[in-house]
Amino acid sequence: MPRQARAPGAQSLRFAGEAGRAAPERRGRDDRETVTEAEYHLYIPEKNPLERPIMLDFDERWRRCLEQLDADGRRRRLRTAARLAGGRIDLAGRSLVDFSSNDYLGLSHHPELIRRTALFAERWGAGSGASRLVCGNLPPFTDVEAKLAQGKGAPAALVFVSGFQANASILPALFDSRVLGAEPLVYCDRLNHASLIHGCQAAGVRQIRFRHNDLGHLEQLLAAPNPGGRPRFIVTETVFSMDGDRADIAGLAALAERHGAFLYLDEAHATGVLGEGGFGLARGLAGPRCLVMGTFSKALGGFGAYAACGALLRDYLVNRCGGLIYATALPPAVLGAMDAALDLVPTLDAERARLAAHGDRLRAAMAEAGLDTGASSTQIVPVFLGDEARALAVASALEAEGLLGVAIRPPTVPAGTSRIRFALSARHSEEDVDRLIETLVRVVRKP
């Protein structure tokens, strides 16, 4: 007899005394009901004994999907890559200039990050052993979060396992109608990252999308009647990962203030690169009505994510955010890299200036060649090529000449906007950028 079954419209069931475990307490949507085996039949609909189950060929379904992705030029494959110092990468035994990784400051190979990862692992071990609420809240978390809060100009900060996990779990906690007293109205930029979209979907909210970086359109949406005064949230990025353009942070903050909305900003691609001391475009905004998240996995050279926010909201997330409650805490070595990066970032003004100059140089050359880089104004410079086949062909031609520029295709970007997304690094030399410009213009123009 099965251990657990679900009848249509019924709650998840559990036998009394099953495996010696006590039934869990009731928790909102996750309520579960303990039943005895004698009552089990009451929850299972009667079934015709002659009825044969439908035997679905799952592998055939997966195969059809992959074949369609192939036909559309959208199938992805994993490639083993060994990242090297100096903005290089080894693919299949070939050293390429890496214009696709997010290691914007080259910190992933910085000797101090490497030294501190080893030091933290030696002192606290290879793993944290548990979630932070159980016994995995190791001493380095306190130091890292204090440095984060100070750098972001925020009352408090909280570390998460990854950027995707942070957005996917923080947003459902913020949008909980049982806490807010009503279903929230959530306004999202049309080009938000997949993790922000996933977080909204996980929360079960309808996304009210405004045109990309169009604050006039956002204000029109915010000005619409709001019967019952439902709580409002604005969710966007400060630097858009596939386009390299920036949001108007001051304008967003003013709109949020005017309409009583909570502002949620994703600084994954601004952290380390932009703003005072490299602490992002939204430095100083985090507080009671604004949460600013970001990552350690890009310009900061390591792994993990953070939320900068008010002290009360931090405590709320510790108690209500599944991504923190149920995830094993980050290992000490990762915390060591975080700690070192936070010390180094304020000292890297020269690297940030070089990175900005690389971006300006590449955009100017693409404009002169008649190639479209959109509204890019950062270290991320997309070159729009249109369809998937052309983007893949240009990426392949670049790789043949020793340059890595990965093609970005739907569904990551809208249909018809496939591109090569170039991610520059302070570790690239002027000669590297010049080589990219000459090669790219030549291969794009090739019949």
Among the options 237, 243, 267, 432, which is catalytic? 237
Give the model's pLDDT for residue 39.
58
What tens digit of pLDDT does each residue of 245-289 get?
Answer: 999 999 999 999 999 999 999 999 999 999 999 999 999 999 999
Domain boundaries, the chain: 13-43, 79-105+349-445, 111-346
What is the predicted pLDDT for the residue at 86? 87
- Phi, psi dihedral angles at 342 (to 5 degrees): -65, -30
Q: What is the pLDDT of residue 34?
A: 58
Distance, in Å, from the CA atom of 354 to the CA atom of 379, rounded to the nearest integer, reads: 10
pLDDT at 27 over 50: no
The yes-or-no verdict on residue 437 having pLDDT over 70 is yes
The pLDDT tens digits for 285-305 are: 999 999 999 999 999 999 999
Determine which one of 152, 269, 358, 428 is catalytic: 269
User: Is residue 126 a contact partner of residue 342, using CB atoms and an 8 Å limit?
Assistant: no
Q: Determine whether 237 is an active site residue.
A: yes
CA 81/CA 426 separation, integer angstroms: 20
Q: Report whether pLDDT(12) > 50.
A: no
298 is catalytic: yes
The pLDDT confidence band at residue 43, using thresholds 50, 70 and 90, is low
* Residue tagged active-site, from 110, 152, 298, 428: 298
Task: Select which of 98, 103, 245, 266 is catalytic.
Answer: 266
Tell which CATH classification among 3.90.1150.10, 3.40.50.300, 3.40.30.10, 3.20.20.80 matches the domain 79-105+349-445: 3.90.1150.10
* pLDDT for residue 327 is more than 80: yes
Question: In the CATH scheme, what is the code of domain 111-346?
Answer: 3.40.640.10
Comparing 53-57, 66-70, 164-168, which segment has the lowest mean pLDDT? 53-57
- The pLDDT confidence band at residue 47, using thresholds 50, 70 and 90, is low
Q: pTM of whole model > 0.85?
A: yes
For residue 55, what pLDDT band results from cuts at 50, 70 and 90?
Answer: confident
- Whether the CB-CB separation of 161 and 323 falls below 8 Å is answered with yes
Instruction: Select which of 102, 108, 169, 195 is catalytic.
Output: 102
**pLDDT for residue 178:** 97
**List 100, 169, 241, 376, catalytic entry:** 241
Cβ neighbours of residue 371 closer than 8 Å, sequence gap 6 or more: 383, 384, 440, 441, 444
